[in-house]
Amino acid sequence: MSGPVTKNTDRLALGLAQLRVLASATNIGNIHPAGSASNSVGALTKTQFTAEREVWKHLSGFPQIEDYNITLSQKAMVEAECEELSPYNVALALGEDPSTYTKVHSGEVKLGSLTDIAYVRTELVYTFPDTAKSMVPIFPRAQVTSNVSLDFQATEDVKNPITVEAKRADSNVTGGNACWDAAPLGRIWFLSDTDD
């Protein structure tokens, strides 16, 4: 037999994750997943986790050959598309603190108020097809930086794009906590139903 062979079929990932949004300040000292299904933004058509690293590459010799990389910066983000239009989800996409908005179909979201982008805690909960395991990227202190673009079509549902960027959550920043000193942008938890 040749080529890559599956080592464990229960590690294969398929399907969307659930985006949960919580208050950052209230949960900043908790390194474990803290959200529940009630914190979910609802149905999604896209969920994508990205961790990017910018590196400086050193070359030597002639002709030059790469021989060393140094990390210059790192960032992490989650991109999602909400199917459900609610004041909560639209306010979140605009970078506001969504906790003051409702998830039901009433209320308003004001435009033109140029306030600071709110800090939120996000947990992207992906459950494997066997439902016994999950992977949860946690951003304890994040900001939503998306532009709201609601494209109304005759035969397709509207998708509200949301981009969540992880920000420093360690003890070096106001609003951070020492429990994140070793992982300033957050953590990716791998959990099974046998974990306590």
Can you tell me the distance from the alpha carbon of 119 to that of 143, in angstroms, rounded to the nearest whole number?
5
CA-wise closest residue to 20 among 161, 135, 163, 121 = 121
**Does 22 fall in a domain?**
no
With bands split at pLDDT 50, 70 and 90, how would you rate the model's confidence at 73?
Answer: very high
β-pairing verdict for 133-144 and 160-166: antiparallel
Are 47 and 78 within 8 A, CB to CB?
Answer: yes
User: How many angstroms separate the CA atoms of 107 and 76, rounded?
Assistant: 32
> In this structure, is residue 193 part of a structural domain?
no
User: Tokens 């506001």, residue?
Assistant: 96
Report how far residue 114's alpha carbon sits from residue 1's, in angstroms, rounded to the nearest whole number.
Answer: 61
Query: Is residue 12 in some structural domain?
Result: no
Residue 191 lies in a domain: no
Q: Within a 10 A sphere around the Cβ of 27, how many other Cβ atoms?
A: 20
The tens digit of pLDDT for each residue in 131-140 reads 999 999 999 9
Query: Can you read off the two tokens belonging to residue 180?
Result: 């994140």
**In a domain? residue 171:** yes
What's this model's pTM, rounded to 2 decimal places?
A: 0.90
Between the CA of residue 70 and those of 31, 62, 75, 181, what are the distances in Å?
28, 21, 15, 21
Token pair, residue 133, equals 């395991």
pLDDT tens-digit series, residues 26-48: 999 999 999 999 999 999 999 99
In a domain, 194, yes or no: no
CA atoms within 13 A on the CB side of 13: 12
Residue 157 lies in a domain: yes
Asked if residue 122 is part of any domain, the answer here is yes
Domain with 112, as residue range(s), is: 31-175
**Total structural domains in the chain?**
1
